Structure 1
Amino acid sequence: MSAGVEVVGDRWTLLLVRELLFGSRRFNDLHRGMPGISRTLLSGRLRRLQVTGLVVRTLDSEGRPEYQLTPAGAALEPLVWQLGDWARRWYFGDPKEEQLDSAWVLWRLRQFVRQDRLPARRVVVEFVLRSAVDEHAWLVLAPGETSACDRHPGYDVDIWVNADLAELHRLVAGTSILDAAIHAGRVNVDGEPTLVAGFSDWFAWRAPTMSHDADQLEGEIAVPPTADSE
């Protein structure tokens, strides 16, 4: 155990492994999914993981660098999800105001998209996120490609999601359920009725676990599939 902690026990390594498990391959995508890490530190972590044999650096068809997990790195997957599940059940509380980040939460939601459940055409979802200052963000969902944008993508909007920013963080973390949030008025989904009806099924929401003092069995973790990089 001591040897394992020496390899992956720092603040950023398992978070970097998580991003790679979600399908991020390029440096900018990895950086976007890890708010708080500097580009210099991320470069250092990637080099270290290559030395320890957890990550390999390759070039795509255009000569741009990409990063992928080796078999040893991919074998950390159960540990990553179980650690997150443990934290949600025993440690993770309500998000604090300084933790609320609309760009990060939309990037994470993008990674939850289930490509096989999307409509056969492009769908644009606009999020109006309520916090101290209301913010707007967009998801562009198209067959084979999903993008998260902090500026209007230039397409007509099909669905509007009006939500407390804190509630969207809870939904992504798996401490809240979309249907319950809609019923309580913390989330409202509007737009074309057929699209609204299928909206919740487009994402692999993490199933909430019961609190440590509950008498019921905990829910299973719904691990989101990977999403194509922007």
Structure 2
Amino acid sequence: MPRRSYDQYCSAARALDTVGERWTLLIVRELLAGPRRYTDLHADLPGVSTDVLAARLKEMERDALVTRRRLPPPGAAYVYELTARGRDLLPVLTALAEWGAPALSERRPTDAVRAHWSAIPLLGLLRRHDGTLEVRLPEGTFHLRLGHDAPSYADGPAEHPDAWLALTDGTALALEQGRLSLAEAVKTGDAEVGGDTPLAAALRDG
């Protein structure tokens, strides 16, 4: 299927030719956590049809944003993972998350939620810190690899976290929207920081 284009000699238009289709950037969001099987992607992208997901992944392979590879036995499943060019979209998603945070208000009954959807906003919020941070939310756990070189995140607990951060319901959003600082959240009990490391101390100080 030929790619649609804005046919404008403009870098923003060229970028949107590649990532402007519905679901593309959300697929990138999922793959920033690491290689994922098709079934895992479909489970964490509620609302996308199997046909659309398959089509978007093919387009993203064509545009060198993702690659598909087979895991060695005993896994023997195919996974999708971002290329270096795909991972370069993290700052784009971070900026979009910061811009979109004020639009999040009361959660609607139809809204899906996953714990790791807070990872990219928190990466932006905690960008000046360094180390591995395990984040515990009521919906689940993920971890952030903080630092200026290659910030990233992954699902589940960290193997050897430098610190952990537990947030109560709604606190992550309040932090993202700037309605609450991390130091204030720790003081009120809406956030708890664990660990005896420079990262833990820096987080407690906000």
**CA RMSD, aligned part only?**
4.2
Alignment of 1:23-172 (within 5 A): 23-61=34-72, 62-88=75-101, 92-98=102-108, 104=114, 106-108=115-117, 116=132, 127=138, 137-139=139-141, 147=156, 163=168, 165-171=169-175
**8 Å contact from structure 1 (residues 26, 66) kept in 2:** yes
Partner Cα separation in structure 2 for residue 108 and residue 87 of structure 1? 13
TM-score, L = length of structure 1: 0.51
Partner Cα separation in structure 2 for residue 99 and residue 77 of structure 1? 29
1:40 Cα shift? 3.6
Please tell me the residue identity of whatever aligns with 2:84. Answer: P
Q: 1:184 to 1:36 in 2, by over 3 A?
A: farther
SS of 2:172's partner is helix
Partner Cα separation in structure 2 for residue 139 and residue 77 of structure 1? 20
Runs of 4+ off more than 6 Å: 99-102, 110-115
Matched, 1:178 2:182: yes
Please give the per-residue CA displacement for 1:72-126, whole angstroms capped at 9, x wherever unaligned.
32333333333333434xxx3343221796851x2345787998456xxxxxx68
Corresponding pairs, count: 163
If asked which structure has higher relative contact order (CA below 8 Å, sep 6+), I would say 1
Q: Which runs of 5+ in 2 are unaligned?
A: 1-11, 124-129, 144-153, 158-163
Match of 1:13 in 2: 24
TM-score, L = length of structure 2: 0.56
1:162 Cα shift? 7.5
SS of 2:34's partner is coil
Partner Cα separation in structure 1 for residue 93 and residue 141 of structure 2? 26
SS of 1:16's partner is helix
Taking only the aligned residue pairs, the percentage that are identical comes to 26
Partner Cα separation in structure 2 for residue 19 and residue 146 of structure 1? 10
Match of 1:121 in 2: none
Q: Which runs of 5+ in 1 are unaligned?
A: 119-124, 128-136, 149-158, 190-195, 209-230
